[in-house]
């Protein structure tokens, strides 16, 4: 038997910590003893029922997990291997990581870098791994330190915080956009050089605006993404990975055909293992452990259901790590 958060549907979703049997686990060729998971915005939507992200019932939420392989029929993994899972429909269509045990497809796993413990890996989680993909995309497009500021929107979130830390470590001048003025000191400690009021990016804007950003990591979508593109300098690039403000994109083609701006979509859910491994290698090499600690809060599994509501109220800063064994 093991403990897990289980979401059931009887008219409306209901989430609670319960005891399950290993026989209840879904199909998969690797069983993992989970040590830590995370609480993300998508997990909060699933737990609260605020958005229909769950596609199968009942569901164990948790888009991330880190732990040790307990049993494997997959050629790449053996008992005792340290592994991480991010995305792949975990917590949506396949039971996820907010449980003490998981059974998953071995193709979804990547090795846990030796420099990280499982708690640190979950302090990074999908958010940090996505941030690493964004930084890699900007560098691959040719954005380099010294060419101008790089804007990070939604800067107090998990993706934003890790993106700031990685960009600063790579030598970029970073502008952090937030609507939380009180968090300016926190963002500067992560590596931001300037803090920008998010309100200036959130409203309607002209198709082309004053050139400012050499690159952008955008976690919000909607008008913020449109304005970020309109303010990006000639031959700059925008890595788009989120939709916290909305799925719409009220923009024109002007930045792309008149300034050569590139809009780079970042798919962290279904990225191939080679890209995932490269992203984790960058995190292992470049992420300052002190910056990681500064953005991390730890809770117990039994606290996760109540904590989910904080995401919807925008009362979360950085990362929430869940110790599933307490």
**Where, residue-wise, is CATH 3.90.180.10 in the chain?**
2-112+295-323
Model pLDDT, residue 183: 94
**Residue spans of the chain under pLDDT 70:** 11
CATH code for the domain defined by 2-112+295-323: 3.90.180.10
Model pLDDT, residue 52: 87
**Where, residue-wise, is CATH 3.40.50.720 in the chain?**
125-265
Question: Which superfamily does CATH assign the domain made up of 125-265 to?
Answer: NAD(P)-binding Rossmann-like Domain (3.40.50.720)
Model pLDDT, residue 271: 94
pTM to 2 decimals?
0.91
DSSP string, 94-163: B--SSBSEEEE-GGGEEEPPTT--HHHHHHHHHHHHHHHHHHHHHHHTT--TTS-EEEESSTTSHHHHHH
For the beta carbon of residue 265, count every other beta carbon within 10 angstroms: 9
Model pLDDT, residue 318: 81
Model pLDDT, residue 159: 94
Model pLDDT, residue 234: 98
> What's the rounded Cα separation, in Å, for the pair 208 and 206?
5
């Amino acid at each position: 038997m093991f403990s897990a958060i289980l979401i059931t549907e009887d008219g409306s979703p209901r989430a609670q910590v319960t005891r399950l049997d290993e026989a209840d686990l879904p199909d998969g060729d690797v069983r993992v003893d989970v040590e830590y998971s995370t609480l993300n915005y998508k997990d909060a939507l699933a737990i609260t029922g605020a958005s229909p992200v769950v596609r199968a019932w009942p569901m164990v939420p948790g888009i991330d997990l880190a732990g040790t392989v307990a049993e494997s029929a997959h050629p790449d993994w053996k008992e005792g291997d340290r592994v991480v899972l991010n995305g792949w429909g975990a917590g949506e269509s396949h039971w996820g990581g907010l449980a003490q045990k998981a059974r998953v497809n071995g193709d979804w796993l990547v090795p846990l870098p030796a420099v990280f413990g499982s708690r640190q890996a979950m302090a990074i989680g999908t958010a940090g791994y996505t941030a690493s993909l964004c930084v890699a995309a900007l560098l691959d497009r040719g954005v380099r330190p010294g060419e101008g500021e790089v804007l990070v929107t939604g800067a107090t979130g998990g993706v934003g915080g890790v993106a700031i830390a990685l960009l600063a470590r790579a030598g970029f001048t970073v502008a952090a956009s937030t609507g939380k003025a009180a968090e300016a000191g926190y963002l500067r400690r992560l590596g931001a050089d300037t803090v920008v009021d998010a309100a200036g990016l959130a409203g309607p804007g002209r198709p082309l605006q004053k050139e400012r950003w050499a690159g952008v990591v955008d976690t919000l979508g909607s008008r913020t993404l449109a304005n970020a593109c309109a303010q990006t300098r000639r031959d700059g690039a925008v890595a788009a990975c989120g939709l916290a403000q909305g799925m719409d994109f009220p923009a024109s083609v002007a930045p792309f055909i008149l300034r050569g701006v590139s809009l780079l979509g970042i798919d962290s859910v279904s990225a191939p293992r080679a890209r995932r491994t490269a992203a984790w290698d960058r995190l292992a090499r470049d992420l300052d452990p002190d910056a990681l600690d500064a953005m991390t809060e730890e809770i117990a599994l039994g606290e996760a259901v109540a904590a989910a509501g904080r995401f919807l109220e925008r009362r979360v800063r950085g990362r929430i790590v869940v110790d599933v064994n307490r």
